[in-house]
Chain A
Amino acid sequence: MHRKSAVLVAGLILAAGMGSAGVLESFGIISGTVDVEGPTFYAADGKVLQLDVPEGDEKVDYLGVGPKPGDVEYFSTRDLGGKEWYDLEAEMYVEVKAQSGVENASLNLQFNYRDSSGDWNGCGKWVNFETQDSYHTVSVSCDLDVPGDVEKFQYVIEARDDLGIQATGGTRVEVNAQ
């Protein structure tokens, strides 16, 4: 008896509620959280900056940075379609080692974007570090406001010393939010 009464009460309450429900008001709501992660662009063979970790034949040991002071390597993404981007913090990494006994070296790491008018804008820093015989990772970061559409990203590595860098996943740019 108690069970039947409860079912009846429930049914009545439900009927009353639904009878007065409107069309657009009668929505059930599902909510959830989505984690949006910043992309990582990897330097790869062919002077490409790509979203996937280079593997297999894409490994490149020496990209020819140095020995002439001011040697520069440019890695560029494909055309990104001119979309707006968030103001970003570029965390730049480079896998580097000394080529000919250089003990202390410096690198200029720069992250640029080309806007829809063809202008390049970017941020970067020189970093001094102790070189080693084996590859190790050096990193810097900088903030970059992106007020316009982005056509391409570009990772620029400039060296004043005789260095080698490799593009097997360690030479990359993590694009975080400011």
Chain B
Amino acid sequence: MRKIMALLAASVLLTGFSAAASVDLEMVQNPSMTAGRTGEAVISFRYEGDQFEDRAFDPFALLVSVDHEKGNLSNRYFDASGRLSYSWAGNSYSFDLECVAGPEEVSSMNQTGSFYSTQSQVVESNELLCVPKNTLSVLKSNTFIEDGKIELNFSTSPRVAPGKMNITYSFGSFSGFPQFDPLLEANENGTVELEDHGIRIENLEQGTEIGVVGYSALNVQNPVPDSESFSLGYYELEPRKKASGKVLIEYDQQSIDGSNRLNPRLYRCSIQAGNCDWELISNQSAANGILKAQLDHFSLFGLFTSKERKVVIREETQTVDGDGGGGTTVVTRTETEYVNNTQTETEKVIKPTASFDILYTSPGVRKDVRFNASDSYDPDGSIESYKWSFGESGKTVEQSFPVNKSVNVTLTVTDSQGVQDSVTKQLNSGIRQGQETGTTDDRGTQDASQSITGQFLGSTSDMVGILALLVVAALLILVYTGRVNPEALYRRAKQKIE
């Protein structure tokens, strides 16, 4: 009864895949890896064919998605490569997995009975799509995999900070999702080493049927071969690649499946505005079991990537508002050549604004100054770095300067899109302590308050001047109050001189 309930649960679960198939599985082991060391985590999925008998499971694609507890991770900072190996019809096959980083549009052609349709999916910028390299998958309903394994070497760059990182692996198959609910287990002693990260997939229940979608992917790699024999039935073509000349594609069905394999179907991909327009050009088998087709542009149906779809032929950056100050819009125009057309993409980025305050912290033999760049901002993102002309980095920094020397200090901020802005201020030569808010920067902007708070110590010559002013002021007060008569003073002085 428990098996029946489990089967029912699995069936209901799989039914949900028709819209957006997913099943959440438990990862038994939480592996760890060290930031700054690469290639540490080897993730291995292993499945045993005899556990699901004659059910086809063709794991042709693996979508790897990563999130970090400190925020989304870009696939600039992680990578994966691996190997897919399995047995089929008594033979062993092994293929390298090639991972494509998004953002990238991935297209596939799907067969349901005699109906063919294309599908596409965008690989996001925090995802990798790993597909067998140089392969054309040709499984069908009554073939089965005896044993199989996917080993994925996952590595991160040191940009990935310590913390918890969530990795999601999504399996894809032309044969649909495997007709079992995989249970993941650690290796036998219950611990998983980084170099031996074994995960076993076991079938929960047997005896269910699966609707199989035919075969498969395609391929011809660069350089395009003049003639190639498809003994394994796997090959890769990167579609939308600009191909010229004629290619002879030859299939020997007998070496693929000697009994009841369906005839191969060849499709031509006519590229219209960057998209494939599929055309069935042959599904007939020659009398000797050899199908031949001669193509200019060629494709079979299947999953492929379009990473060579575009070539950037021109990139121009233009400052629109042109005053060099913050808030300026920078427009980058990218002219891209696709296979059959050229498109121009425009990206607008607003420059950040660099700004900083100066605080003189200690008077004396050195001029210690604290710089605070908290007022810097970026209207369409965030500021990623603060660089000071005296070599320091950071939003708030301290630096000592010689007294009685004018020093220019430049702050350069860089935003999350890599756009920079700079501002320069001149430090005053006097020795002060406190907040200076009346400094004029190189943009001509000046703080309205013009207040300088703190001690003024001054030099010796400054003090003499002040004393002279005080003496004159005292004399004027005495004259004004009548305590001193200037005329009498003048006469007395004149008499003394005479």
Contacts A21-B177, A28-B23, A32-B166 aside, 14 further interface pairs with beta carbons under 8 A come to A7-B7, A10-B7, A14-B209, A18-B17, A18-B179, A30-B182, A34-B41, A34-B165, A51-B36, A84-B158, A147-B384, A147-B387, A147-B414, A175-B35
B240-266, CB < 8 A from A? none
Q: B172 near A27 (CB under 8 angstroms)? A: yes
B contact set with A: CB distance below 8 Å:
1, 4, 7-8, 10-12, 14-25, 27, 29-37, 41, 45, 61, 63, 68, 70, 77, 106, 108, 110, 112, 119, 121, 156-174, 176-179, 182, 184, 199, 207-211, 213, 303, 384-387, 391-394, 414
Nearest-neighbour CB distance to chain B for A6, whole angstroms, equals 5
Distance in angstroms between the alpha carbons of A80 and B16 in the assembled complex: 47
| Residue with the highest number of chain B CB atoms closer than 10 Å, among A31, A38, A176 | A31
Q: Which of A7, A14, A26, A34 contacts B30 (CB 8 A)?
A: A34
Q: B160 near A86 (CB under 8 angstroms)? A: yes
Interface status of A37 (Cβ within 8 A of chain B)? yes
Nearest-neighbour CB distance to chain A for B120, whole angstroms, equals 8
Interface status of A9 (Cβ within 8 A of chain B)? yes
Q: A34 near B208 (CB under 8 angstroms)? A: no
A residues in contact with B211, CB < 8 Å: 15, 18-19, 21
Given contacts A10-B11, A31-B168, A175-B35, contact A25 B161 (CB under 8 A): no
Distance in angstroms between the alpha carbons of A84 and B159 in the assembled complex: 5
B residues in contact with A25, CB < 8 Å: 17-21
In the complex, 25 of the A-B residue pairs with CB atoms within 8 angstroms, ordered by the A residue number, are A9-B8, A14-B14, A23-B172, A23-B213, A26-B177, A28-B25, A29-B25, A30-B170, A31-B27, A31-B167, A31-B169, A32-B27, A33-B164, A34-B32, A35-B32, A35-B164, A36-B33, A38-B161, A39-B36, A85-B159, A86-B161, A88-B161, A121-B393, A145-B385, A147-B414
Distance in angstroms between the alpha carbons of A83 and B158 in the assembled complex: 7
Given contacts A14-B14, A34-B31, contact A84 B169 (CB under 8 A): no
Q: A37 near B35 (CB under 8 angstroms)? A: yes
Given contacts A34-B41, A147-B385, contact A29 B169 (CB under 8 A): yes
Interface of chain B: mostly helix, strand, loop or mixed: mixed
Distance in angstroms between the alpha carbons of A54 and B176 in the assembled complex: 52
Nearest chain B residue, comparing its CB with the CB of A115: B393
Interface status of A57 (Cβ within 8 A of chain B)? no
Q: Which of A6, A18, A150 contacts B177 (CB 8 A)?
A: A18
Distance in angstroms between the alpha carbons of A11 and B7 in the assembled complex: 9
Q: B119 near A18 (CB under 8 angstroms)? A: no
Nearest chain A residue, comparing its CB with the CB of B108: A23
A residues in contact with B173, CB < 8 Å: 26
B residues in contact with A177, CB < 8 Å: 70, 161-163
Q: A22 near B110 (CB under 8 angstroms)? A: yes
Q: Which of B165, B209, B392 contacts A33 (CB 8 A)?
A: B165
Interface status of A17 (Cβ within 8 A of chain B)? yes
A residues in contact with B176, CB < 8 Å: 18, 21, 26
B residues in contact with A7, CB < 8 Å: 4, 7, 207
Given contacts A13-B15, A177-B70, contact A38 B32 (CB under 8 A): no
Interface status of A16 (Cβ within 8 A of chain B)? yes
Nearest-neighbour CB distance to chain A for B165, whole angstroms, equals 5
Q: B169 near A85 (CB under 8 angstroms)? A: no
| Residue with the highest number of chain A CB atoms closer than 10 Å, among B35, B77, B112 | B35
Q: B23 near A22 (CB under 8 angstroms)? A: no
Nearest chain B residue, comparing its CB with the CB of A20: B18
| Residue with the highest number of chain A CB atoms closer than 10 Å, among B18, B36, B112, B177 | B36
Q: B32 near A17 (CB under 8 angstroms)? A: no
B residues in contact with A22, CB < 8 Å: 18, 110, 119
Nearest-neighbour CB distance to chain A for B214, whole angstroms, equals 11
B residues in contact with A32, CB < 8 Å: 27, 29-31, 166-167
Interface status of A119 (Cβ within 8 A of chain B)? yes
B residues in contact with A145, CB < 8 Å: 385-386, 393-394
B residues in contact with A31, CB < 8 Å: 24-25, 27, 166-169
B residues in contact with A1, CB < 8 Å: none
Given contacts A7-B7, A39-B36, contact A17 B27 (CB under 8 A): no
Q: A175 near B172 (CB under 8 angstroms)? A: no
Of all A-B residue pairs in the complex, the 4 with the closest CB atoms, nearest first, are A32-B27, A147-B385, A17-B15, A86-B161
